Structure 1
């Protein structure tokens, strides 16, 4: 440790020692300073000034500010406290930077991402905004800002200016209290004191209004707002987020225009959720036929007509299309427009030759498959989840790049339909977002079905040799070549943010490529919102619909009421067989966040209905705080996991613990009993042992038995 850091530590330790262990804190009282100020005003100011500088980063700062008004009055007190608080804040800023800056940035940089981004984007105004709102603790701002790249002088003058209004309000309240002769109801409730407390109450709202006005003036500079608008809201994109936003707007009788450049329903209907689930179903039928002998049915080896399978997939899409059609949404009151939308100003959207003026804009443009820049990829006519559905000939050898949900679902489906599938991922396991036991279960299942899973392998290139496609892989020092007929790229999705005018309007995007939005889904323009895959952080259809409600309501009722998006309970499922579903924390996430937990696990191989259906595999895993039944997270691997998880989603959302799930009647025999038995396992592990021992003795006494008998062994939750 450097000499500078040692000195800083010694100074901080000395201040804390003087305040807490020497009785110095007993002298920092209004009466002491008032008496001293009457006798030696300059000395009092100097002592108070120095004390404030040293103590302003402690929780006593607000009391010291009020005390400044009680001792010195409103004018002198404001001057003394303003300069002392700014110097003290700058001292804390410098201490944090000198002592902790490098260490905290290197280890906890992710927690400072928001602050760093705010400083980088808005500079001094970001700090000014924080200073102007007293609800943000200055004792937190000072050290945290010290971990940014802001210059000390900038921090000083912005803090001086930003804290001044709040300082005056608090000092004035103290001055009014100091002027009270006797603390009776009549003496305290003077007009001046009442006005001071009213100022204290409304200051945060005034500050927010000022900051909001300044930000709006800054961001809208150079744009002319129309006096009237063609529509209340323009929605760009007809996928899940766009459809729900439009539906809500029409439902509350707002005029809304929905612009879609391609097909209504977006990726989910046309190239994602719907066609993939139809394909998975066909693949599951093939598996069932192959296993028919297990159920006493002779069916032989199934013959797969791949073209008919894909025709059925397209028919399923057509059957669902009316739910998302232009006709349906027109009947609901939505003005549906087909074409390319471009935002030309915060209140204007151009579609072809027409320009629509609008009060609000919702960007719901979705995402597309991400294609990595791998050398030679353009030579092998690759597939993505967009063009996969055009296939009519089953690839004999299919290479799948990607071990996430999309890659895993399609790899298993094509293997069952008759392809020889090789699945490659650079991570050390498939589905790395899930816990290791989940990944291990899925990988074991894939291997048993004949999929060649290559984890810890990086694809570094493609070649065509003598008419045959070759993928070049690396795993450490090993080099591997894989021959294939078709390659499916399933390594992630990229938000659609180009071609809509976002760059011209300087609408920010995050490093991961999604549109930057605040907690209310607003972009840098308060009337332009983004939701769904284009905004993240989750790229699920149900999350897009969830966000869409917030975007629509916040846009249409801005200025009256706004809602922060609630991401507290987000479930998802991967539709491999058996399915994997999760809500809340995984074990890995709990460990990463330092959250204490205990794990309860129930094996579905013990479930009567699963045994009867030949699906006795998988498990239910629930995370709870030690000794408590609150659900922190749940993972289900098994038969109908995507349906079973809903009980835990409801439990987390409505604060229903495992005790109440255990006490709820579940129909026998159903797979839903797995949740009840998992709750029973938790109950058995958390049984009150001492109380049970006393009950054992009580029942022995009632039947006149000897007290020397041992209690029976506890049964399983199912028994």
Structure 2
């Protein structure tokens, strides 16, 4: 209501302005014709005329009316260069700020709500460097100032920042126009003020902040590097620390473009994913899943069978799988690709020098123009009293520890309700362990929507996992050779006996041991980087788990591309790491896979969305395989088929997600998925049917009613 009244008043003022032909007064001819009268008034009441002039100028600018340029000339003619500049400088800045505030008041909420996802990157850029960009625009009069006022009002830039930057940025142009106004009689047109030479000067002024920014960056780098002596020559173009996914991809890219690159790894090539994470866990999940199918063979018309197996052989198979994949990440392969591989512990000595304590003895020092830190992460061990004395395994150590045993852990406590904890809890329960999973939060898999968490919990419990949510682990105890963990729930303590304790409460970046402290590189759970993955030193980059914000193998590889390319070619062009479309999956049964926003994230961030859901219990292939459970849930922009996010629950969810990832990455909507032929009968049809559900909900009802009448007429009815 209030907005409507204000808009009405503004509309009335604008209508009156044009109705009474007031715009003719704000033309060059109108100014020349009325200048003598203005001079008379000014001589009689200089302060009143100055104040009135400032007020009118503010209104003209605030309402984005034509004539500000002419009024600037008038200021020079009436008040001279000094006072004309003072009056116009403040009047133009005040008027511009009022236009800015009006745009923000009337339009910002609507625009940000409707196009918030598209404007996210712009908003972040404005919050970070908005003053700089506004200053650049203000220096170049080629950009219409009234348009800048309105557009900046839609962004998050602060009003105070907008004002002072406008005041300073418009000063050069104001002086030029006011000075020209002192020679008003000689001016035939406004274009005459801005000659090509003067326009070129303004363009140079506009470019100057960019040059200044580059100079500032050089001086900042010089300040950062001032206590170090830069080598005159370098042994390498790139040194990469860590041979996990981030390090392998970084070094591969460097070798591919014929750079001289050294990859340093202290332990096993392939990092966590190959040796402790993705590969062994998925091998275990497969064995456990087969055991579950054997136990429920009657679902397929067969007789239920209780599987008999050697746990040692199950673990041996896992190590065989690792060994089979290992050549993909081996020293031999990367050496063949042109990468020098050194096995040892790397330490940064200065921003260009790395010292390697070689595993086979001795040390080696190398210099490099650029360095990529890809040291990965390790399991977090909660500081529970007694945990060290009672012993525990992690998602890293269990593969070697359990491989020594003939029997599967009888009573296994799993600390943590995240993806790792859930995957391992379900697998060991399916293989016969009595598993108790302890989660401090209210639900497991808390990053997913609540319905997904509940579905995952129900699935784990069907497989025999005792899931204890809202239980806080307090301490570990030993008594008469037995091990206990003490937990607290709703103020009541409980002792749980176990044979083995698996810590799966998360992973922390490896931040110590390789010289970050010596160089003063900032860390806060991860290595602090900018959008180009640069650390405090522009030639030192970080990628993968050590850099965050995601701890996925595929995001480590994704970041590695940016780190390597920026490290090798950043002097020509730098690329900002793009996290706009990041998929992930949790390989419980049924699988949970996701990309983009889910509902809880959209609500938290105030993003408007529609939900389309397709139940996989309706899918022919799922019915045929007795796996008709789960769903496809798609979030879209209200009224449009633009995909904001997808959550998939069901068999092969991780594989099915790829189609949605591709669509989101390339701006394709649900209509494109619906119009794509999917082989029948396949699991991938679930994606098409989900798109069909969206289409059905957005059917053009009016057109369909017309068509119904048309067909009735065609039948002659």
TM category, shorter: 0.7 to 0.9
Is 1:609 aligned to 2:615, yes or no?
A: no
Shift of 1:670: 0.9
Shift of 1:67: 6.8
Q: Is the 8 A contact 1:70 1:176 kept in 2?
A: no
Q: Is the 8 A contact 1:74 1:171 kept in 2?
A: no
Q: Is the 8 A contact 1:70 1:177 kept in 2?
A: no
Is 1:638 aligned to 2:650, yes or no?
A: yes
Q: Which residue of 2 aligns with 1:194?
A: 199
Q: Which residue of 2 aligns with 1:96?
A: none
Q: Is the 8 A contact 1:67 1:171 kept in 2?
A: no
Q: 1:577 and 1:241 mapped to 2: Cα distance?
A: 29
**Local SS of the residue matching 1:427:** coil
Shift of 1:541: 0.5
Structure 1 residues 460 and 61: alpha-carbon distance in aligned structure 2, compared to 1, 3 A threshold: farther
**Local SS of the residue matching 2:336:** helix
Q: Is the 8 A contact 2:296 2:305 kept in 1?
A: no
Query: Unaligned 5+ residue runs, structure 1?
Result: 1-14, 93-110, 120-125, 706-719
Q: 1:204 and 1:61 mapped to 2: Cα distance?
A: 29
Q: 2:254 and 2:555 mapped to 1: Cα distance?
A: 18
Write the mapping of 1:388-403 to structure 2, written as runs, cut at 5 A.
Answer: 388-390=398-400, 391-392=402-403, 393=405, 394-403=408-417
Write the mapping of 1:73-472 to structure 2, written as runs, cut at 5 A.
Answer: 134=137, 166-171=169-174, 174=177, 181-183=187-189, 187=192, 190-298=195-303, 300-352=305-357, 353-390=363-400, 391-392=402-403, 393=405, 394-472=408-486
Q: Is the 8 A contact 1:65 1:81 kept in 2?
A: no
Q: Which moved more, 1:261-270 or 1:128-137?
A: 128-137
Shift of 1:560: 1.1
**Local SS of the residue matching 1:617:** coil
Q: Which moved more, 1:576-585 or 1:515-524?
A: 515-524
Write the mapping of 1:556-635 to structure 2, written as runs, cut at 5 A.
Answer: 556-635=568-647
Could you state the TM-score of these two structures normalised by the residue count of structure 1?
0.81
- 1:681-713 deviation line (CA, Å, top 9, x unaligned): 1121211122222222222222233xxxxxxxx
Query: Aligned match of 2:512 in 488, 494, 498?
Result: 498
Q: Is the 8 A contact 2:132 2:209 kept in 1?
A: no
Q: 2:326 and 2:133 mapped to 1: Cα distance?
A: 48
Task: Provide the aligned C-alpha RMSD in A.
Answer: 4.1
Structure 1 residues 539 and 53: alpha-carbon distance in aligned structure 2, compared to 1, 3 A threshold: farther
**Local SS of the residue matching 2:394:** coil
Q: Which residue of 2 aligns with 1:520?
A: 532
Structure 1 residues 471 and 294: alpha-carbon distance in aligned structure 2, compared to 1, 3 A threshold: same
Q: 2:477 and 2:349 mapped to 1: Cα distance?
A: 44
**Local SS of the residue matching 2:399:** helix
Q: Is the 8 A contact 1:409 1:575 kept in 2?
A: yes
Query: Aligned match of 1:679 in 688, 691, 695?
Result: 691
Q: 1:425 and 1:306 mapped to 2: Cα distance?
A: 27
Q: 2:74 and 2:399 mapped to 1: Cα distance?
A: 76
**Local SS of the residue matching 2:393:** coil
Shift of 1:613: 1.2
Q: 2:89 and 2:465 mapped to 1: Cα distance?
A: 69
Q: Which moved more, 1:467-476 or 1:543-552?
A: 467-476
Is 1:693 aligned to 2:676, yes or no?
A: no
Q: Is the 8 A contact 2:430 2:464 kept in 1?
A: no
**Local SS of the residue matching 1:632:** strand
Q: Is the 8 A contact 1:173 1:196 kept in 2?
A: no
Write the mapping of 1:655-670 to structure 2, written as runs, cut at 5 A.
Answer: 655-670=667-682
Q: Is the 8 A contact 2:415 2:503 kept in 1?
A: yes
Q: 1:337 and 1:272 mapped to 2: Cα distance?
A: 23
Structure 1 residues 254 and 174: alpha-carbon distance in aligned structure 2, compared to 1, 3 A threshold: farther
**Local SS of the residue matching 2:551:** coil
Structure 1 residues 251 and 624: alpha-carbon distance in aligned structure 2, compared to 1, 3 A threshold: same
Q: 1:248 and 1:70 mapped to 2: Cα distance?
A: 62
Query: Aligned match of 2:564 in 547, 552, 555?
Result: 552
Is 1:532 aligned to 2:544, yes or no?
A: yes
Q: 2:64 and 2:222 mapped to 1: Cα distance?
A: 36
Query: Aligned match of 2:662 in 632, 650, 662?
Result: 650
Structure 1 residues 65 and 260: alpha-carbon distance in aligned structure 2, compared to 1, 3 A threshold: farther
Q: Which residue of 2 aligns with 1:543?
A: 555
Shift of 1:538: 1.0
Q: 2:379 and 2:138 mapped to 1: Cα distance?
A: 43
Shift of 1:85: 9.0
Structure 1 residues 576 and 324: alpha-carbon distance in aligned structure 2, compared to 1, 3 A threshold: same
Q: Is the 8 A contact 2:472 2:488 kept in 1?
A: yes
Structure 1 residues 69 and 448: alpha-carbon distance in aligned structure 2, compared to 1, 3 A threshold: farther
- 1:644-664 deviation line (CA, Å, top 9, x unaligned): 011111111122221221121
Q: 2:190 and 2:51 mapped to 1: Cα distance?
A: 33
Q: Which moved more, 1:172-181 or 1:79-88?
A: 79-88
Q: Which residue of 1 aligns with 2:142?
A: none
Q: Which moved more, 1:622-631 or 1:445-454?
A: 622-631
Query: Aligned match of 1:478 in 492, 512, 528?
Result: 492
Structure 1 residues 388 and 84: alpha-carbon distance in aligned structure 2, compared to 1, 3 A threshold: farther
Q: 1:181 and 1:672 mapped to 2: Cα distance?
A: 71
Structure 1 residues 323 and 48: alpha-carbon distance in aligned structure 2, compared to 1, 3 A threshold: farther
- 1:301-327 deviation line (CA, Å, top 9, x unaligned): 101311111111111111111111111
Write the mapping of 1:17-28 to structure 2, written as runs, cut at 5 A.
Answer: none
Shift of 1:54: 11
**Local SS of the residue matching 2:695:** helix
Q: 2:384 and 2:679 mapped to 1: Cα distance?
A: 53
**Local SS of the residue matching 2:354:** strand
Q: 1:421 and 1:460 mapped to 2: Cα distance?
A: 19
Q: 2:65 and 2:374 mapped to 1: Cα distance?
A: 46
Structure 1 residues 505 and 177: alpha-carbon distance in aligned structure 2, compared to 1, 3 A threshold: farther
- 1:533-575 deviation line (CA, Å, top 9, x unaligned): 1111111100111111111111111121111111111111000
**Local SS of the residue matching 2:518:** coil
**Local SS of the residue matching 1:503:** helix
Could you state the TM-score of these two structures normalised by the residue count of structure 2?
0.81
Q: 2:560 and 2:635 mapped to 1: Cα distance?
A: 30
Q: Is the 8 A contact 2:533 2:543 kept in 1?
A: yes
Number of equivalent positions = 657
